[in-house]
Amino acid sequence: MARKRETWAYRDDHDEFARTYFRRFGESIVSSVGIGTYLGEPTDAVDDAYREAITTAIDGGCNVIDTAITYRHQRSERAVASALDACQTDRESVLVATKGGFVPFDRTRPEDPHGFIEREYFDPGLIDPDELVRGNCIQPSFIDDQLDRSLENLGLETIDCYYVHNPETQLQSKSADAVYDQLEATFTQLEQRAQNGDIRHYGIASWDCFRVPPTHESYLSVSTVVDRARRAARAADSTATHFRAIQLPFNVQMADAFTVAAHGSPEGPKSALRFAHDAGLSVFTSASLQQGALTEAGAIPDAVDARLAGDTAAKRAINFARSAPGVTSALIGTKSVAHATDAIDAGRFEPMGATAFDETFE
């Protein structure tokens, strides 16, 4: 797993970046640009491309790698494992995060997906069929099984951050209270896995739930989730909760996580980013380049673009995400060595300061 001494040594070995490029995650320090592994066909050629891009990124100054068991039918996790073996950097210098919550196929989509799910998950009792909602399940037995499979795929003894993947999907058939109850049960299991050394921290990777108003059908409260994690820690006899991170989309065109004050606090409602910042949670942003759309000329509003440092639109868009409060790392999905290198190069430029960032929304 990523360790304090090794990650700080990694920072010292990559001192060519701007002052705030490396940021705290627990006791470790990690790059504020990370590599994601969502996109691409489930082919050997894409596996090879990811392995090369991730290896280049790790050795070049990016020590945050994000994946999920469902990405490319488990191939992305296995490509990360190959990259970790191939790079010159020690494993203990790299933060590896993955997710569980959607039923994954294995390497390819089966001819009979329902039959596969029935044999693999229903029959052994890993999933109660009533708990499967649009391919998503967050019940403890399923998440526990997925964590074991991810450890094997990644070839790791410990996953640094394990996310429950898009739990808001469950709201399509359950009440919010029922989803919070299920999360608390699963968090209790993850607290036990943290005590066993299988994970270091855990969190929630979301799409809608943390950046919509409370009246929205996909809404979940970060403050309630944190409360449930604390209860789970007590139930598991943990000295403190291992809930440490949230992942959500954030970019210059999708700024709801900063602008929508939807999460209760003693000081009043806060945005997801502000709440996370004040609560000491790390935020990892997905869709930081909006799947490449923000690399196009004119995609960033002129008034914002003028405030951002970077010699390409992509670097300026990345630096917008890195400028937001609470953001530990902006994730860039890429399987290209050139694009990975360009994304990391954004870290040679300073992000906006807090005042300048706030002023872009005035």
CA atoms of 294 and 313, how far apart (whole Å): 7
pLDDT given at position 267: 94
Domains and CATH numbers, the chain: 4-359 (3.20.20.100)
Assigned token pair, 311: 């010699």
pLDDT given at position 29: 98
pLDDT given at position 216: 98
Q: For residues 144 and 112, is the Cβ–Cβ distance under 8 A?
A: no
pLDDT given at position 298: 86
pLDDT given at position 243: 98
pLDDT given at position 362: 74
**How many other C-beta atoms can be found within 10 angstroms of the C-beta atom of residue 238?**
18
Assigned token pair, 284: 């990892």
CA atoms of 322 and 74, how far apart (whole Å): 29
Q: Tens place of pLDDT for every residue, the chain, 362 residues?
A: 899 999 999 999 999 999 899 999 999 999 999 999 999 999 999 999 999 999 999 999 999 999 999 999 999 999 999 999 999 999 999 999 999 999 999 999 999 999 999 999 999 999 999 999 999 999 999 999 999 999 999 999 999 999 999 999 999 999 999 999 999 999 999 999 999 999 999 999 999 999 999 999 999 999 999 999 999 999 999 999 999 999 999 999 999 999 999 999 999 999 999 999 999 999 999 999 988 889 888 889 998 999 999 999 999 999 999 999 999 999 999 999 999 999 999 999 999 988 889 888 87
Parallel, antiparallel or unpaired: strands 22-25 and 28-31:
antiparallel
Q: pLDDT tens digits, residue range 34-81?
A: 999 999 999 999 999 999 999 999 999 999 999 999 999 999 999 999
Q: For residues 82 and 148, is the Cβ–Cβ distance under 8 A?
A: no
pLDDT given at position 96: 98
pTM over 0.75: yes
pLDDT given at position 355: 87
What is the SS3 assignment for 27?
Answer: coil
Parallel, antiparallel or unpaired: strands 327-333 and 282-286:
parallel
Assigned token pair, 26: 């627990």
